[in-house]
Amino acid sequence: MQKLPENPVLMYVTDPMCAWCYGFTPIVRRLKALWFGRISVQVLVGGLRPYAQEPLTSSDKDKLAVSWHRAQEKSQLPFDYGFFLQPQAVYNTEPACRALLTVRHLRPGLILEVLRALHSAFYADGLDISQTEVLVKVVQPFGITENLFLAVFETEEIYQQTQQEFELVERLGVSTLPSVYLDHASGPRLISRGFCQLPELEDRLLQALQIPF
């Protein structure tokens, strides 16, 4: 039988402005708590709609709103739909992804907590987390001052690292957010594609680790 790693790493591919990820992040956090000391979680930013510049069309908004409603029904989390009332709504997820990478540099142990806060700011509070001043306010409660955040967030290095992570996720073959992989010596193994509940996620992890029920 293949020898399992002592501390398996789950690769959670997400985006702070992904509605299904908003519902799924609490599930990943609960799994991490249940498996405390037995697994680690690595957060990768998938770039749902990076670098978008054009406002959403009415058709785009309709499709997005349907997806949000479905995510709300599954997750039972609050959603603010004021975003769709903006006539010039631009859905650019790159700044929020870059903010998460910034947090990884500054407070790596808090990355899931900050991801949850970013989700809530956008979906529950209706804040535009593509704006730097909003991102600054979201991360401040986690002990990251404005000057410290901007010192990393606005560098060319973090822009490049964000782009490189988008490319890494593409090479993994990620087609749906959220997705979860188990990092194996033979290469990442897909555990979950899309939203699922905690029991299903845990079952898939157990199967991947070849641990008997």
Q: Which residues contact 133 (CB under 8 A, 6 or more apart)?
A: none
Parse the chain into domains and list their residue ranges.
9-209
Q: How far apart are alpha carbons 186 and 165 in whole angstroms?
A: 20
Which two three-digit tokens encode residue 118? 């970013």
Q: How many CB atoms lie within 10 A of CB 88?
A: 7
Q: Are 123 and 22 in contact (CB under 8 A)?
A: yes
Q: How far apart are alpha carbons 142 and 140 in whole angstroms?
A: 5
pLDDT in single tens digits along all 213 residues of the chain: 445 567 889 999 999 999 999 999 999 999 999 999 899 999 999 999 999 999 999 999 999 999 999 999 999 999 999 999 999 999 999 999 999 999 999 999 999 999 999 999 999 999 999 999 999 999 999 999 999 999 999 999 999 999 999 999 999 999 999 999 999 877 899 999 999 999 999 999 998 887 432
Q: Are 79 and 72 in contact (CB under 8 A)?
A: yes
Fold for domain 9-209? Glutaredoxin (3.40.30)
